[in-house]
Structure 1
Amino acid sequence: MTEEQARVPKLRFPSFTDAWEQRKLSEVSERVRGNDGRMDLPTLTISAGSGWLDQCERFSGNIAGKEQKKYTLLKKGQLSYNHGNSKLAKFGAVFELRTYEEALVPHVYHSFQTNELAIADFIEYLFDTKRPDKELGKLVSSGARMDGLLNINFDDFTGIKFLLPSVEEQKKIARLLRDVDDLIAVHRRKLSHLDLLKKGLLQEMFPKQGEAYPEIRFPGFTDDWEQRKLGDLLEERNSQRSQSNSYPLVSFTVENGVTPKTDRYQREQLVRGDKAAKKYKVTYLDDIVYNPANLKFGAISRNAYGRAVFSPIYVTFRVKDKQTVPRFIEGYVKRDDFIKYSLRFQQGTVYERQSVSPDSFLGLPIPLPSIDEQRQIGAFFASLDDLIALHQRKLTHLQQQKKALLQQMFV
């Protein structure tokens, strides 16, 4: 590969053939700092995962205090570099101000605006590729300061080098990626709406504590719900065995319930060579599973994965399916009201280690309708879960597409 070929991206719009030119950030930008005394503007902060956030929303109030007088007045189209270390951005993150005309941002951020040689959108996406990280890594002399910021001053930051195409090519690349981001935002909103809808329906389609029937009900069902105990419907499993191809080792998380271990974990297990000796707790499809210590965070779900083994710290129950429907039980135990009520029975002297024991859990009350009404409720939430999963797959696909574009359309 020639030097010129090395300065050309793998994926490119037609009509662009010139090699990209090496530039310093200082050549295509100028510093932005100071303010005009107005303190009633939105006060923002940068999150590596979410971009610009209003401090009042992120921290439930303005945390600037007296320091706000030193904040930088940032205008739409200008950028800031938060040189704070985080899991998502080891060497900090750059974002353009797009959703506000003007805002106040921390003066410790390195704020700047592009000149006629660069497009702000393109510069933001350039940093999103993580390509500048190699240059930024050279500037970090002694890790993070006490305030969490990396030791990178403004002059050194703007001294980093990168490859830059013509302004017209920058515009096209940035526009495409912004369109993808807009689609991602649409699916995130749909997913958020569906999650909130499900959460609300879980409250309304089951009776409140002490009531005989729910607020929302399918036509044709009028009988009162019968008060039972979970112990009438569930039976704890306590069998253990080693992991194998037939019984893979899985995780249990608040977000995804019973879910496969990561590839990294599986590789570590193979290296250690201890997977055949260690015993784990067995769980099967449609079991109700919960983490006694993390129930307060919503760590309870139906096993939708299948036959597997996991840590003995988790509790798993077989559903007595002649009396009830697994998806109905899942819907009831995932309700905020149920979790809040169950936490009354936590045991333990240290808050972080308090837990709801299996015996206490099985003693909790549950209102039970006819088996036909249970099936309808279970089927309804199954359809809603399928719709949520569909939007999640679309969102994941778009995020993967964006990641691929960032890798192939930049040098």
Structure 2
Amino acid sequence: MIQQDVSPPLRFSKFKEDWDQVLFGSFITSRVEYPKLDCNFPLYSLTIENGVTPKSARYERSHLVKSGEKAYKVVYPGDFVSNPMNLRFGAIAKHHGTEKVLVSKYYDVFHLDSSVITNFVEMYFSTHRTLGFYNSLATGTLDEKKRVHFSDFVTFKRLFPSIDEQQKIADFISAVDKKISLLKEKHSLLEQYKKGVMQKLFSQEIRFKDENGNDFPDWEKGILGDLSNKISNKNKDESVTNVLTNSAKSGIVSQTDYFKKDIANQSNLGGYSIVEKDDFVYNPRISELAPVGPIKRNHIGQGVMSPLYTVFRFRDENVLDYLELYFTTTQWHRYMKSIANFGARHDRMNITMGDFFNLPIPVPSKGEMEKIVGFIKSLNKKVDLVAEQLNQTKTFKKGLLQQMFV
């Protein structure tokens, strides 16, 4: 039998004693309180990603009345909420809000007493080792239906440090969390700044000067069809098997990597369009991130894409960086909406090929174009640097959670 560690590998030097077995039920008290029908507490849900979070606006209050007063449970500020069906995946979180809220009656709601440090326990509940422990004791005949009943949850015994060590660990991890929060805020602000500057640059509200401080020439009004050629090369011999997709969030990516599986039938790629590196692709599928569908540049190399996409290639390679950035703005959206015919497929833009290639494109002089591209690329480097710092700090925290808990 393998002996369980009685203390974590990484500790503060002042703490030497072994951790002790503690019964969850010794510091957990269930809260089963149902709302009155006339209560105005907001409806919340529990997600693994965001914890205790507001339900979307589509959940009307009338549903509460129709379902009866025992359809939801009351959650107080500082209470914990867990989902017995997904506890082993991390569906447990503290309600950090300042007001009472309602969650589904199927969730377990509980609070902690003063014998433990709440912040420490909050972290402890979701460590990799603890989730593995939940999984080992989950019950159910089918793996996808395994659950951890609250009656079992409170009987769990786990190793806990002294109150002083709990506080020290919680304070240290909280400091890392604060750094993560600040980096997230910095990244968000930089993204907002970049977005605002790009809108002003491409609308010509902000203009650059040349090296002598003089104005650049007025921008020309180009037409997509005059600047590019539609690419209609079909994969008739099915020699190209690298299937690509156009994602509003990730750009042009391998379909296998993006969906984690092959969506296209690999034995029937003859009708797919061959795309080359630096081709641009329009996906008519609309989404929150791409309200008129995304136009993305292919950085991967040769591949094939669904015939639902429109592939085009610019004649002048010097404009590629500029136009790639232009299509990340909303400057061209108004035109697309003006020519769209929304038919039965409300999730797609229905646009004729002629209208699409009449898309107006503002074209600055080569000198101003280079300044625009250079400026935005420098902003992107700053955004990417903060994103990297954020990822490194998250990785650092993950390592701490693995090393400072048992």
Cα separation, partners in 2 of 1:174 and 1:281, compared to 1, 3 Å: farther
Counterpart of 1:128 in 2: which secondary structure?
A: coil
Aligned: 1:370 with 2:365: yes
Distance 1:22 1:40 in 2: 42
CA RMSD, Structure 1 to Structure 2 (Å): 4.0
1:34 and 1:182 map into 2 onto residues whose CA distance is 33
Which residue is equivalent to 1:120? 118
Mapped to 2, the partners of 1:230 and 1:386 lie a distance apart of 29
Which structure 1 residue ranges, 5 or more long, are not aligned? 208-213
Post-superposition Cα deviations, 1:352-402, rounded to whole Å, max 9, x if no partner, equal: 455546554322112222222222222222222222222222222222222
Instruction: Name the structure 1 match of 2:282.
Output: 290
Structure 2 residue matching 1:351: 3-state secondary structure: coil
1:196 aligns with 2:192: yes
CA contact (8 A) 1:250 1:260 kept: yes
Residue 97 of structure 1 corresponds to 95
Alpha-carbon distance between aligned partners in 1 of 2:115 and 2:181, rounded to the nearest angstrom: 29
Residue 385 of structure 1 corresponds to: 380
Contact 1:191 1:391 in 2 (8 A): yes
Alignment partners' CA distance in 2, 1:68 and 1:391: 47
Asked if the contact 2:89–2:131 (Cα under 8 Å) also holds between the matched residues in 1, the reply is yes
Q: Structure 1 residue 263: deviation in Å? A: 6.7
Give the Cα separation in 1 of the matches to 2:287 and 2:44: 34
- Give the AA of the match of 1:34: E
User: After the TM superposition, which residues 42-191 of structure 1 pair with which residues of structure 2 at under 5 Å, given as runs?
Assistant: 44-55=44-55, 58-59=56-57, 63=61, 65-66=64-65, 71-76=73-78, 78-83=79-84, 85=86, 91=89, 93-100=91-98, 102-106=99-103, 108=105, 109-137=107-135, 138-141=137-140, 153-191=149-187
Find runs of 4+ consecutive structure 1 residues off by over 6 angstroms. 35-38, 142-145, 261-266, 274-280
* Contact persistence 1:295–1:355 (CA under 8 A): no
User: Percent identity among equivalent residues?
Assistant: 27
Q: Is the 8 A contact 1:72 1:107 kept in 2?
A: no
TM-score, length-scaled by structure 1: 0.76
Q: CA deviation at 1:53?
A: 2.6
Over 3 Å counting, the alpha-carbon distance change for 1:316 and 1:150 in structure 2 is same
Task: Tell me the amino acid that sits aligned with residue 31 of structure 2.
Answer: V
Mapping of residues 6-21 of structure 1, within 5 Å: 6-21=5-20
User: 1:237-276, aligned counterparts within 5 Å?
Assistant: 237-239=231-233, 240=235, 242=239, 251-259=245-253
Q: Which runs of 5+ in 2 are unaligned?
A: none
After TM superposition, the score normalised by the length of structure 2 is 0.77
Across the two proteins, how many residue pairs are aligned to each other? Answer: 385
Partner SS for 2:215: coil
SS in structure 2 at match of 1:326: helix
Distance 2:334 2:383 in 1: 25
Give the Cα separation in 2 of the matches to 1:385 and 1:304: 19
Instruction: Assess, with a 3 A threshold, how the Cα gap between structure 1 residues 154 and 355 changes in structure 2: closer, same or farther.
Output: same
Letter in 2 for 1:179: A
